[in-house]
Structure 1
Amino acid sequence: MSVDRQLPEIRFEGFNGEWNSLILGENAKFTKGQGYSKGDLVESGSPIILYGRLYTNYQTVITNVDTFVTEKDKSTKSIGGEVIVPASGESSEDISRAAVVRMKNVILGGDLNIVLPNKNIHSIFLALVLSNGRVKKELSSKAQGKSVVHIRNSDLSDLNIIVPSEDIEQTQIGNYFQKLDNLINQHQKKHDKLCNIKKAMLEKMFPKQGKIIPEIRFRGFSGEWENKGIEEISKVFIGLVTTMTTSYRNQGVLLIRNSDIKNNRFEFSDSPIYLDKKFADENSSRKLMLGDVITVHTGDVGTSAVVTEKEEGSIGFATIVSRPNKNIVDSNYLSVFFNTDIHKNFAMNVSTGDGRANYNLKDFYKLKVPLPAIDEQIKIGLLVQKLDALINQHQQQITKLNNIKQACLSKMFV
């Protein structure tokens, strides 16, 4: 990026020439939202945007509002095209966040700075500039306060905004990022919908406390479920708990830590830890086998995943290992049950520790597992596997698109 020449690193084909410097205060009108807080929200009424939602719910362009209030006199309402910036935030790094209100007659709540740019600066382009890069850093540096920081319209007014000399280039940049946000939103909605479906099904596919039959089950299955102790259905042991940092290597036998275990899957960092092969062979009794179920002992207690071919032969570090009796319990089913609220609540209730929770083996031994017939277990396990695969696909797309967005934001502005 060449700030001296005021040119971005990359731009759309067909555009050239330097960008122009504009003082925002000379090219915009400013006002403030007023009144209203979270305590004023009602189920239905007049749509409102509260400043806190900019941190949690809205992308660069706001086209739908899902919070409402009973309207008061002299409320500040949008005319469409305003850029709103929080006037308060938890930190100077986070407060520089802007969004465009596309709709008319939306109430703009208190603690919102409202900027209406003139024709020289497009609203979406301005919101992107305020939320990223050089301008974001400059605006963040103006934030004042300790436990809560504040930004005023006068801070915004002083900003030097560098814009393309041609209106159409601003428009194309804004449209490009709006399309990215729309794609991210689409995947996020599908991701959240699948998560809700999975949660609802898991709540009904296992018998409630004191019951022996679940609310819903696959067609063709009937009969009562039975509860069996974890030691009746699997061999249980703990992973290595000895100090082994001197045996860490860049390659060798994979070490699985509690932090690597996620809901029905493993998620390793870019630099996974391996153990010296000789050291691992000396502890071969702790090596994991295909189908073992690994459960978090310290941290997000109860969270579990099944060992696949990728993790076979690895060793867990202070993890709880269940090696299922395949004639009694299916590995995927057992992992699914371990990740339900039923088991997670049990794990939390028996855990010890002031800071990080510890799920001790003596308490794990007390666990009772609800079991249908093995073929019904397999169906439940496969169903959740399919849902998890779809959820992960959407999450991967969200991550990929966010990475593309961040890379473009760092190169397409001055």
Structure 2
Amino acid sequence: MSNKEERKAPVLRFKGFTDDWEQRKLGDKITRIKSYSISHGYETMHDTNTKYIHYGDIHTGKVKIINDINILPNIKDNNYIGLNKGDIVVADASEDYKGIADACLVNTDTDSNKIVAGLHTIALRPQKDTYPQYLYTYLSTDIFKHFGYKTGTGLKVFGISYKELAKFLVSSPSIKEQKKISKLISLIEKNIDLQQRKLNELKEVKKTLLSQLFPSKGQYRPIIRFKKFTNKWTKRKLGNIAKIIGGGTPSTSNHDYWNGNINWYSPTEIGNNIFVNSSNKKISIKGLNNSSAKLLPGGKTILFTSRAGIGNMAIMLTDGCTNQGFQSWVIDDTKIDIYFLYSLGRLLKHDAIRQASGSTFLEISNKEVKKLLLEIPSFTEQKLIGNMLRKIDDDIVRQKERIILITKIKKNLLQKLFV
């Protein structure tokens, strides 16, 4: 039986290309290069001109398309067989199925340095009829990932052997079309990387602002202030500037208490969200009246998790209640700016964790949350600080959404450009 077959082309094509694609086993399109059981213990701080690729660095995304050899760790040379530009290194082990056979591409000249494939890797050298970046991109498609899910074995650690990997069927057009596809995907990936760098820069700006707009411990004035504000900030207990309210859970055996129209939050719904306005589960008015849950006002409440991940916060935009995993903060919005308190509150997380107790899991009580200390300025200064931080948070949210959108475009193209 021939390992070479003809297969129809994908849904989306570049103008001028009409030929059917060729389908062959991966093992027939590459030459295998030796990899070694080199782990982190082999690394050295000295520049040895010999680098290596560890499977863990592939999974974390530290190495994807390697354009700069200096991102790789140094090891002492031991007559290892090195990689060439265009070689692909696949991680053959992963802690979950999603990471099976993640790959990276050597895209830098290796004349003056040697790059070695390290622990839990399979090194592949594409043959002349296969453009390296095309094959690397193919290994990130859902087609290949599905193959990895089906083929991978193991319980705690999932793995794939070269023998199984070599059976994967790769569909390929001409080299010219492979290069066009690769160039398009590469441009999108560069855009994603650019947007990610912008996101990281915004996060750094916010981090700096938080350190300078709020006083350091033991201080009563921040480093940066708006004009005309010179007064010391006032030390207050949280319980003196906000009502601290716990939550509750209606009986799960009474169906009349559930599936109503009242939001009912659990800590897992908070995550990194700044705002929440609709919960996964909802309770009825009967459920509210027959439990210790309290209806909290939207726009005036900061949800604060008090167990199983203490100190996660979100501003609740619409009325709702919570389970007992919260000690929420309800403010008087004529005296406290909610975004100021939300931003300042995130700095209280470590203090809250220190005050927590419990044998099964850590939890901070209502009484201890009320005792948390913070310095606050006048209401006018609060609003200026809150507005500034909200603007940068809005920029961060928009930047995240931009990355999600471009990533979806890339995924859609991968589905339509490959078969």
Is the TM value for this pair above 0.5? yes
Distance 2:43 2:213 in 1: 35
Distance 1:94 1:187 in 2: 24
Q: 1:6, 1:162 within 8 Å by CA — same for their partners in 2?
A: no
Give the match for residue 65 of structure 2.
61
Give the match for residue 16 of structure 1.
18
Cα distance, 1:194 vs structure 2: 1.5
Distance 2:33 2:76 in 1: 19
Match of 1:337 among 316, 331, 344: 344
Cα distance, 1:11 vs structure 2: 3.2
Match of 2:403 among 372, 392, 398: 398
In structure 2, runs of 5+ residues without a counterpart are: none
Helix, strand or coil for the counterpart of 2:36? coil
Match of 2:56 among 49, 52, 55: 52
Judge which range, 226-235 or 92-101, deviates more.
Answer: 92-101
Give the match for residue 380 of structure 1.
385
Q: 2:92, 2:101 within 8 Å by CA — same for their partners in 1?
A: no
Counterparts in 2 of 1:333 and 1:146: CA distance versus 1, 3 Å: same
Match of 2:299 among 290, 313, 319: 290
- AA partner of residue 57 (structure 2): R
Q: Determine whether 1:162 maps to 2:162.
A: no
Alignment of 1:294-305 (within 5 A): 294-305=303-314
Give the match for residue 125 of structure 2.
116
Q: 1:324, 1:331 within 8 Å by CA — same for their partners in 2?
A: yes
Give the match for residue 219 of structure 2.
211
Distance 2:124 2:412 in 1: 27
Q: Determine whether 1:133 maps to 2:142.
A: yes
1:165-221 per-residue CA deviation (whole Å, 9 max, x = no partner) reads x22221222122212211111111111221122223323433333333334444543
Match of 2:109 among 85, 104, 110: 104
- AA partner of residue 256 (structure 2): T
Q: Determine whether 1:85 maps to 2:90.
A: yes
Cα distance, 1:98 vs structure 2: 1.7
Give the match for residue 258 of structure 2.
248
Give the match for residue 209 of structure 2.
201
Counterparts in 2 of 1:113 and 1:132: CA distance versus 1, 3 Å: same
Match of 2:199 among 191, 196, 199: 191
In structure 1, runs of 5+ residues without a counterpart are: none
Match of 2:321 among 315, 325, 329: 315
- TM-score computed with the length of structure 2 as normaliser: 0.83
| Aligned residue pair count | 404
1:13-35 per-residue CA deviation (whole Å, 9 max, x = no partner) reads 44333211223333322113336
Counterparts in 2 of 1:204 and 1:42: CA distance versus 1, 3 Å: farther
Match of 1:95 among 93, 100, 121: 100
Distance 2:280 2:147 in 1: 37
Q: 2:239, 2:369 within 8 Å by CA — same for their partners in 1?
A: no
Cα distance, 1:140 vs structure 2: 4.7
1:121-180 per-residue CA deviation (whole Å, 9 max, x = no partner) reads 11122122223334333345444554444444444333322212x222212221222122
Distance 2:275 2:23 in 1: 49
1:306-362 per-residue CA deviation (whole Å, 9 max, x = no partner) reads 344xx2x3334443332224454321111111112xx11122223345666433212
Distance 1:262 1:138 in 2: 32
Distance 1:220 1:117 in 2: 67
Give the match for residue 233 of structure 2.
225
Judge which range, 185-194 or 45-54, deviates more.
Answer: 45-54
Distance 1:81 1:225 in 2: 60
Give the match for residue 268 of structure 2.
259
Helix, strand or coil for the counterpart of 1:252? strand
Alignment of 1:143-154 (within 5 A): 143-154=152-163
- AA partner of residue 392 (structure 1): V
Helix, strand or coil for the counterpart of 1:329? coil
